[in-house]
Amino acid sequence: MLANANRLTPYLFLAPAVAVMGIALLYPIGYMIYASFLDWNPSQRIGEAEWVGVRNYVNLLGDAAFRESFWVTIKFAAIVVSVEMVLGVGLALLLDRELRGMTILRTVFILPMMIAPIVVGLVWRYMYHPTVGTFNKWLDGMGLSSAPWLSDGNWAFASIVIADVWQWTPFIFILSLAALQSMPKSAMEAARIDGASGWQLIWHIKLPLMLPVLIVTALLRLIDAFKVLEVILVMTNGGPGLSTEILALRISRTASEFRELGYAAAMSNLLLILLLILTIVMFGYTKLTEARAARLAQAREVEVT
């Protein structure tokens, strides 16, 4: 009996925290799932809303605006994560050395991700201003014509991509640099002794050893890119047209402007499912990597013995 009580003690201490977290997490999700089956607007209590079943989800399939927002979200996430990975890993490889003032330089690199998204959106919106903005002043100074940064669909999409890359490349940089600095020095020393060049060290030693961290980092950024809202809301509010309206902004507008809470909840659930799939992929890959590392370690122990 005493042994059973000792085994149960940790779970008893954890039970209150688990209960609070379960309620705080599961209740809002359940509320949102239930709301997605209702024709609900802000003037009603949820209990007064009409039950419509899966009609909201069926309507989504024929909603051209929703499909456009979904496509813009996929395109935006794919582009920003790809560019940020290239720039972040490149900067990490470049700065993985002892240089004078490196601590200050690294601090400067991570400043953008410490700024509030609303402020980032405002700063970039003013920089893109057609007459007094920094970029058009530079173009005018070089004798080039001004660019319609936020008034043309393609230019506006490129503008929000640039702003996101500026803010979140430091995230990739920090994790990539940490992965580089945690590498076993023996592998690189052995490669140098064998006559490997700098590029060969990068392609055949550093990048393969960084790959597990890079994949998890890319998945984390991909999940976050699907949820970005404030910067785009401040810069373009989804315009011109629907050229920069990502799914999170479409959900926000559906709930606040169009007052269709049930329809917005259905969109949110689809976005939740998509993010859940990405999260499962991330954790699944992490488990596979850990299992592979354990098998390699076990094989080395057998070889040694």
Which of 48-57, 102-111, 173-182 has the weakest average pLDDT? Answer: 102-111
Token pair listed for 110: 């991570």
Task: Examine residue 96 and state whether it is found in any structural domain, yes or no.
Answer: yes
More confident residue, 169 or 203: 169
DSSP readout, 115-142? S-HHHHHHHHHHHT-TTT-HHHHHHHHT
Predicted model pTM: 0.87
The CATH number of the domain holding residue 197 is: 1.10.3720.10
Q: Which domain holds residue 192?
A: 64-304
Task: Output the pLDDT for position 190.
Answer: 76
Task: Output the pLDDT for position 289.
Answer: 77
Task: Examine residue 271 and state whether it is found in any structural domain, yes or no.
Answer: yes
Task: Examine residue 10 and state whether it is found in any structural domain, yes or no.
Answer: no
Report the chain's mean pLDDT, rounded to a whole number: 87
Tell me the pLDDT tens digit for each residue of 78-94.
999 999 999 999 988 88
Q: What is the CA radius of gyration of the chain?
A: 25
Which of 238-252, 256-270, 286-300 has the weakest average pLDDT? Answer: 286-300
Mean pLDDT, rounded, for 220-225 = 91
Per-residue pLDDT for 38 more than 80? yes
Domain count, the chain: 1
Task: Output the pLDDT for position 69.
Answer: 94
Task: Examine residue 28 and state whether it is found in any structural domain, yes or no.
Answer: no
Which of 142-151, 180-189, 248-257, 271-280 has the weakest average pLDDT? Answer: 180-189
Helix-helix angle 261-304:2-35, to 10 degrees: 140
DSSP readout, 183-204? S-HHHHHHHHHTT--HHHHIII
Task: Output the pLDDT for position 305.
Answer: 61
> What b/e readout covers 198-212, taking b as 16+ CB neighbours within 10 angstroms?
eeebbeebbeebbeb
